[in-house]
A and B are shown apart, each in its own frame.
Chain A
Amino acid sequence: MTVAPLRLLILGGTGFIGPHQVQYALDRGHKVTLFNRGQTNPKLFPGVEKLIGDRNKPDGYAALKGRTWDAVIDNPTQVPRWVREAGAALAGSTSRYVFVSTLSTFRNRREIGITEDGPLHEPAPSDAVPSGAAYQAAYPGAPVSTYGPLKVRSEMDARASFGEKALIVRPGLIVGPGDLTDRFSYWPVRIEQGGEVLAPGSPHDYVGFIDARDLTEWMIRLCEQGASGTYNAVGPKHGMTTAEMLYGIKAVTPGNARFTWVDTDFVLERKLRPYAELPVWMPNRGDSAGWARMNITKAVTAGLTFRPLAETARATLAYYHAQPAERQASLRSGLSPEKERETLAAWHAKAR
């Protein structure tokens, strides 16, 4: 492979998707610099240059002064003012600014095949911050907004600061090794445990997600290509149903899992929370009818590829089993065993 080595500055870079990005960039021969507080996983990538700064502090970007980059990748931001400050600090010193946005910028996902031009949320106020004590402490009195509107405002600010140099990627649910939310991991872990597994909705409902490695590897390749503009970034490429996802995951386990599909009406009546308690899945109707059927033609044309589900499931399980026992015992998404059992019992009682 012959790509010209890039000088990449990665803001954050130590969370879920960052390490995958860094590893791939290094594998491709690029020169990587990390910029963060130096608090999370400080021993990661010992050979990589690290610049320290706190984006919540005045003059937090001082360490970046006088340096130039071919591309800056902004991973963790949902604070519009961070994006503006990054613009002020970096607009003159980088050829590209890659902003990781989200499909949550869309006002709803009612339609099937929503493109990058679909209707978005109203942007949050410029000075808005996410909820959370850390943000309140750093920005006393700032209005609080939610994820989607904050990201819409951030995208606008990124475009205002960087213009044609702005590359905006809107991922859907990011999954795979390193995921701290368990919003996909619940399924491989649950299926590996075996027995009767509650499956949401219909076997034919669509689901969507993207392996963190597919996302980050593609982002590095976009930098290599000098891409700009806005991209929906979710998979799988050809549509996937819950039956395909669950049986596909089961194919990598030697377990005895079997699935009972509990229909959407029942799920909603019982106040089970789609996506959180029933990970990945959203009702295939109403405002989420097109949730898992976004138009991703632009991203695929620009080189987004997808690993087989079996690889995502295997790597997710390997990561999970490498975690400490307490972490393994407390999944952060999905149904508790008791709630799953109760719901299944109620469903079977109703069917009788």
Chain B
Amino acid sequence: MPLKILVLGGTGYIGPHLVEHALAKGHTVTLFNRGRTKPGLFPTAEQIVGDRNAPDGHAALRGRKWDVVYDLPATNPKWVVGSTEALKGNVPQYVYVSSTAAYKDFARSYPDETHPEQEMAPIEPTTPPAQYGPSKVRNEHTVRDALGNGATIVRPGLIVGPGDLTDRFTYWPWRIEKGGEILAPGRIEDPAQWIDVRDLTEWMVRLGENTTGGTFNAVGPRTVCGIGELLYGIKACYSNDAHFTWVPQAFLTERKLRSWGEMPVWSYTGASTVAFSTSVIEKAKAAGLTFRPLATTVRDGMAWYHSRPAAEQEKLRAGITLERERDVLALWKAANGTK
């Protein structure tokens, strides 16, 4: 049965993947956004123009009916209050993209969906502005209150693959592609999680098709994964002289090389980011989340990366520079009496 789908946003990173897949599955898609980013991206999709920041910015949605709405970009609580109010009674399912940042204590390993949440942000803007996590919690509650069993809350971890502008995953294939001695963080079994943007969005379309409600962590891979599995798996996609020097976490911490920041994807027990790398995903798997092979994510992600302007390719937005890596490796070897 083809669905009538409304997508709020839809032109950023995950939006185009979701829309493309929904159209490929034969669904009818309506996009609602300001019409400024990538206009004309999907000529076969209906476009409704509206600005969620404007007073009564969701007015154009009133009186229309859809089977399911996907709210992709919303952090601002007023946006979600506005959209749920405008769509009330006309859309039985509301899929809201939240985040594992909704959890209270990121330093606790293995959060499942019952893990304590952050204090929710107020609806009205505050000074200083509310943070990302608390805003996401507020929005989850707004959606649940308005839709009940029709609320589908998806909490992704690190979303990676073609189109990712954060480079938080890309750093590793980028670095491994260059070859030579590579600084590898911690121990090969230290936890690592990510999700291919296509696995996430294709599953979200299935959640709509199956009218699946509830709250879901959404990250991969399928089984518990170490940073070594990630780095060795990426290396298998290349045939150069890339080799890894594993530097202990304490040494990295002293030199301000932090998990997720300077050393992307990586976490370790007790790290302030470990919840992002150890999320329990049994519920999502039971609800049909599937996973591409890592080599596919790497191949497609890097094909996209190499299509970016040269200046962007040279300056990644995550990880460390080659110079910094060389310096830290030299310090590590000096400290250990090896050359």
A complexed with B: yes
Q: Judging by beta carbons under 8 Å apart, are A313 and B222 in contact?
A: no
A237-252, CB < 8 A from B: 237-239, 243-244, 247-252
- Tell which of A252, A256, A305, A306 touches B295, judged by Cβ atoms closer than 8 Å: A252
A contact residues, range: 20 to 34
Whether, in the assembled complex, A289 has its beta carbon less than 8 Å from a beta carbon of chain B, the answer is no
Query: In the complex, what distance in Å separates the CA atom of A308 from the CA atom of B238?
Result: 5
Query: In the complex, what distance in Å separates the CA atom of A305 from the CA atom of B240?
Result: 10
Provide the main secondary structure of the chain B interface: loop
Known: A238-B241, A254-B291, A258-B223. A249 touches B188 (CB 8 A): no
Query: In the complex, what distance in Å separates the CA atom of A1 from the CA atom of B257?
Result: 48
Q: How far is the CB of B237 from chain A (nearest CB, A)?
A: 5
Hey, which chain A residues are within 8 Å of B232, CB to CB?
243-244, 247-248, 251
Q: Judging by beta carbons under 8 Å apart, are B293 and A237 in contact?
A: no
Whether, in the assembled complex, B292 has its beta carbon less than 8 Å from a beta carbon of chain A, the answer is yes
Q: How far is the CB of A238 from chain B (nearest CB, A)?
A: 5
Known: A243-B188, A252-B293, A254-B291. A236 touches B239 (CB 8 A): yes
Q: How far is the CB of B177 from chain A (nearest CB, A)?
A: 11
Known: A252-B293, A254-B293, A308-B238. A239 touches B243 (CB 8 A): yes
Query: In the complex, what distance in Å separates the CA atom of A21 from the CA atom of B226?
Result: 39
Q: Judging by beta carbons under 8 Å apart, are A244 and B236 in contact?
A: yes
A266-308, CB < 8 A from B: 305-308
Closest A residue to B179 using CB positions: A238
Hey, which chain B residues are within 8 Å of A236, CB to CB?
239
Hey, which chain A residues are within 8 Å of B292, CB to CB?
254
- Tell which of A203, A253, A305 touches B293, judged by Cβ atoms closer than 8 Å: A253
Hey, which chain B residues are within 8 Å of A203, CB to CB?
188, 228
- Tell which of A239, A254, A258, A313 touches B236, judged by Cβ atoms closer than 8 Å: A313
Query: In the complex, what distance in Å separates the CA atom of A247 from the CA atom of B239?
Result: 15
A123-150, CB < 8 A from B: none
Hey, which chain A residues are within 8 Å of B80, CB to CB?
none
Hey, which chain B residues are within 8 Å of A314, CB to CB?
295
* From B237, B292, B298, residue with most partner A Cβ within 10 Å: B237
- B203-243 CB contact bits vs A (8 Å, 1 = yes)? 00000000000000000001110001100111111111111
B260-309, CB < 8 A from A: 290-296, 298
Whether, in the assembled complex, A180 has its beta carbon less than 8 Å from a beta carbon of chain B, the answer is no
Q: Judging by beta carbons under 8 Å apart, are B234 and A251 in contact?
A: yes
Q: Judging by beta carbons under 8 Å apart, are B233 and A256 in contact?
A: no
Q: How far is the CB of B231 from chain A (nearest CB, A)?
A: 8
Whether, in the assembled complex, A89 has its beta carbon less than 8 Å from a beta carbon of chain B, the answer is no
Q: Judging by beta carbons under 8 Å apart, are B295 and A251 in contact?
A: yes
* From B242, B294, B295, B296, residue with most partner A Cβ within 10 Å: B295
Hey, which chain A residues are within 8 Å of B240, CB to CB?
238
A195-249, CB < 8 A from B: 203, 236-239, 243-244, 247-249
- Which 6 A-B pairs give the minimum distances between C-beta atoms? A248-B236, A251-B233, A247-B232, A309-B236, A251-B294, A251-B295
22 pairs, A vs B, C-beta closer than 8 Å: A237-B241, A238-B243, A243-B188, A243-B232, A244-B232, A244-B235, A247-B233, A249-B236, A251-B233, A251-B236, A252-B236, A252-B296, A254-B292, A255-B222, A257-B223, A258-B223, A305-B239, A309-B236, A310-B236, A310-B237, A313-B236, A314-B295
